[in-house]
Amino acid sequence: MSVASLLDRLNRGPHILPMRGGRREEVGSKDGYFLFLPRAEELARVFPSMYYFPVTLGKHLSEFLVDIEQMHSFPTSLSTYKCSNTDFHIFTEEGLADLATALSRPFIRRKGKIFKPIAAAVAARRPWYIRREQDPTVVLHQWWQEENTENGEEIWTETPLLWTFPDLTSMSKLLISRLKNSYNIDREEARSMKDVDSSHSAAEYASLQDFFTRPINVEALRPWNPEALVAAPADAVLQNIFSIRPDADGYIRHHTVPQVKSTTFHLRRFLFGDETKDNVIKLQYPRNILVLSIHYLSPRDYHRFNSPADWHVTDQIYIPGCTPSVNRESLESREGILHHFERTSLLGTWDPLSIGERLFFSMNLVAARFVGGLSLAWEDKPLHPRGGPKACGPEAINYIEEKKVDIPLCMGQEVSAFRFGSTVVLAFEAPGDVDITSIGECSHALVGETLAVLPEYPRKLLERCNAFFSNYKNPVQYLNALKQHPEYDEPLRQNSLVRSDWRKKEGRVWAEKIRAIERGLGNRYAVGKFLLFQWNSERNPAVVKLSQPAALDRAGGQDKLGHYVPKCFRAKNTIGLRFEGRVSFLELEIPVNGKEALLFESPFKGCVGDEKLGKDTRGVVAFWRVSEGDELQVELRVESGTFSNGESPQLSVISGVLRLKGECKTEWKSMPRAGPTSTVCGPMSLVEKKERVQDVVTLSNADLATTPLYATPVSA
Q: Is the pLDDT of residue 57 over 80?
A: no
Pairwise CA distance, residues 331 & 263, whole Å: 13
Query: Is 179 inside any structural domain?
Result: no
Q: Identify the weakest region by mean pLDDT among 164-173, 220-229, 379-388, 535-544.
A: 164-173
Residue 688 host element (H or E)? strand 678-698
Say whether both 274 and 384 belong to one domain. Answer: yes
Query: Is 302 inside any structural domain?
Result: yes
Query: Is 175 inside any structural domain?
Result: no
Query: Is 108 inside any structural domain?
Result: yes
Query: Is 186 inside any structural domain?
Result: no
Stretch 340-360: mean pLDDT, rounded?
A: 90
pLDDT at 413: 97
Say whether both 302 and 448 belong to one domain. Answer: yes
| Average pLDDT of the residues of the chain | 82
Say whether both 453 and 533 belong to one domain. Answer: no
**Residue 340 is part of which domain span?**
225-461
Say whether both 157 and 240 belong to one domain. Answer: no
Say whether both 235 and 151 belong to one domain. Answer: no
Pairwise CA distance, residues 486 & 625, whole Å: 50
The C-alpha torsion from 320 through 321 and 325 to 328, rounded to 10°, is 130
Say whether both 347 and 431 belong to one domain. Answer: yes
Pairwise CA distance, residues 147 & 694, whole Å: 77
Split at pLDDT 50, 70, 90, the class of 384 is low
Split at pLDDT 50, 70, 90, the class of 272 is confident
Tell me the one-letter amino acid at 571: A
* Higher pLDDT among residues 295 and 592, named by residue: 592
Q: What is the pLDDT of residues 119-139, one digit of tens each?
A: 888 998 877 775 677 767 899
Q: DSSP characters for 654-665?
A: EEEEEEEEEEB-
Tell me the one-letter amino acid at 328: R
Q: How far is CA 328 from the centre of its chain?
A: 26
Pairwise CA distance, residues 30 & 20, whole Å: 10
Output the CA–CA distances (angstroms, integers) from residue 449 to 252, 523, 611, in the order listed: 28, 22, 28
Say whether both 368 and 269 belong to one domain. Answer: yes
Please say which residue of 114, 133, 164 terminates a domain.
Answer: 164
pTM over 0.95: no
Say whether both 152 and 242 belong to one domain. Answer: no
Say whether both 233 and 356 belong to one domain. Answer: yes
The C-alpha torsion from 499 through 502 and 503 to 508, rounded to 10°, is -140
Q: How far is CA 345 from the centre of its chain?
A: 23
Query: Is 363 inside any structural domain?
Result: yes
User: Rg of the Cα trace of the chain?
Assistant: 28
pLDDT at 5: 59
Percent of the chain with pLDDT over 90: 47
Say whether both 444 and 590 belong to one domain. Answer: no
- CB distance 565 to 617 below 8 Å: yes
Split at pLDDT 50, 70, 90, the class of 412 is very high
Query: Is 169 inside any structural domain?
Result: no
pLDDT at 39: 78
Say whether both 285 and 399 belong to one domain. Answer: yes
Q: What is the pLDDT of residues 464-515, one digit of tens each?
A: 999 999 999 999 999 999 999 999 999 999 999 999 999 999 999 999 999 9
* Higher pLDDT among residues 306 and 276, named by residue: 306
Query: How many domains in the chain?
Result: 3
- CB distance 316 to 402 below 8 Å: yes
Split at pLDDT 50, 70, 90, the class of 171 is low
Split at pLDDT 50, 70, 90, the class of 340 is low
| Residue ranges in 286-441 assigned as alpha helix (H) | 337-340
Q: Identify the weakest region by mean pLDDT among 116-125, 233-242, 555-564, 705-714.
A: 705-714
Q: Is the pLDDT of residue 112 over 60?
A: yes
Say whether both 576 and 664 belong to one domain. Answer: yes
Buried b / exposed e over 303-323, threshold 16 CB at 10 Å, is: bbbbbbbbbbbeebbbbbbbb
Please say which residue of 461, 483, 505 terminates a domain.
Answer: 461
Q: What is the pLDDT of residues 298-323, one digit of tens each?
A: 777 888 889 999 999 999 988 776 65
Please say which residue of 116, 146, 164 terminates a domain.
Answer: 164
Query: Is 716 inside any structural domain?
Result: no
